[in-house]
């Protein structure tokens, strides 16, 4: 019995003397909190670039809606006439400038958006799920998936636009057919 204890003491002494080289990322992973894991997932998934893409697609709609909203009132129409006469480039340039301003404003809110996203991940997912998801995104397979996503998203966007155009045309045909019931033939 005494020899067994001595073996453990010797083994513990040898192991304690052996230098262990931990990288800072190893220590971080060992002690990562769920919010740190969520933030790492969001960063690995390039969520900021995804937001850029989303807002780049929304900004032209917002520009048009802004100018369109102004045209819905007498005061707004009066303003638009003045803008057309005096603002360099008229209402189109005015709308584009709105898009530039709102883009800067939204980009300034990215840290808040990303942090709110991380907090929602923590609320919705178990700590172990966050650890596993983070490990996946930091793995070679996760890196390949993330690298393929921009091309896949571009291809899927094209498919969505084609299908959306077809659905839009079909919907317009249906609505016009319905309107003809009330208005007679529409030319």
pLDDT given at position 24:
44
In this structure, the dihedral spanned by the alpha carbons of residues 38, 41, 45 and 50, taken in order and rounded to 10 degrees, is 10
- Whether residue 49 is found in the same domain as residue 120: yes
Same domain for 126 and 91, yes or no, is yes
Whether 22 has a pLDDT exceeding 70, the answer reads no
Tell me the residue range of the domain where 178 lies.
Answer: 153-187
Q: Specify whether 60 is located in the same domain as 125.
A: yes
With bands split at pLDDT 50, 70 and 90, how would you rate the model's confidence at 30?
Answer: low
Instruction: Specify whether 120 is located in the same domain as 157.
Output: no
Q: Check whether residue 97 and residue 164 sit in a common domain.
A: no
Count the domains in the chain.
2
Q: Are residues 106 and 165 in the same domain?
A: no
The mean of the pLDDT values for the chain is: 84
Residues 129 and 87 in one domain: yes
Is the pLDDT assigned to residue 142 strictly greater than 80? yes
**Is the residue at 1 inside a domain?**
no
DSSP string, the chain: -HHHHHHHHHHHHHHHHS-----HHHHHHHT--HHHHHHHHHHHTTHHHHHHHHHHHHHHHHHHHHHHHHTTSHHHHHHHHHHHHHSTTHHHHHHHHHHHHHHHHHHHTHHHHHHHHHHHHHHHS-HHHHHHHHHHHHSHHHHHHHHHHHHHHHHHHHHHHHHHHHHHHHHHHHHHHHHHHHH----
Domain for residue 51, yes or no?
yes
Region 118-128: what's the mean pLDDT?
97
Asked, for residue 2, whether it belongs to a domain, the answer is no
Domain presence at residue 118: yes
Question: Residue 129 falls within a domain, yes or no?
Answer: yes
Give per-residue pLDDT as tens, 76-122: 899 999 999 999 999 999 999 999 999 999 999 999 999 999 999 99
pTM strictly above 0.85: no
Q: Are residues 46 and 130 in the same domain?
A: yes
Pair 133, 158 in one domain: no
pLDDT of residue 18: 43
Are both 131 and 86 inside the same structural domain? yes
């Amino acid at each position: 019995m005494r020899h067994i204890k001595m073996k453990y003491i010797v083994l513990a002494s040898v192991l304690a003397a052996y230098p262990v080289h931990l990288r800072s990322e190893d220590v971080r992973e060992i002690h990562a909190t769920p919010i740190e894991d969520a933030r790492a997932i969001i960063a690995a998934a390039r969520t900021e670039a995804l937001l850029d893409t989303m807002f780049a697609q929304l900004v032209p709609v917002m520009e048009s809606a802004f100018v369109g909203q102004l045209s819905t009132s007498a005061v707004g129409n009066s303003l638009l006439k003045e803008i057309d006469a005096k603002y360099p480039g008229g209402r189109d340039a005015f709308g584009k400038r709105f898009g530039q301003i709102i883009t800067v404003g939204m980009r300034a809110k990215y840290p808040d958006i990303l942090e709110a996203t991380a907090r929602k991940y923590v609320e919705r997912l178990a700590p172990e799920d966050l650890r596993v998801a983070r490990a996946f995104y930091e793995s070679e397979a996760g890196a390949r998936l993330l690298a393929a996503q921009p091309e896949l998203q571009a291809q899927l966007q094209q498919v969505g636009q084609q299908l959306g155009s077809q659905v839009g045309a079909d919907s317009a045909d249906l609505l016009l057919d319905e309107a003809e019931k009330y208005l007679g033939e529409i030319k």
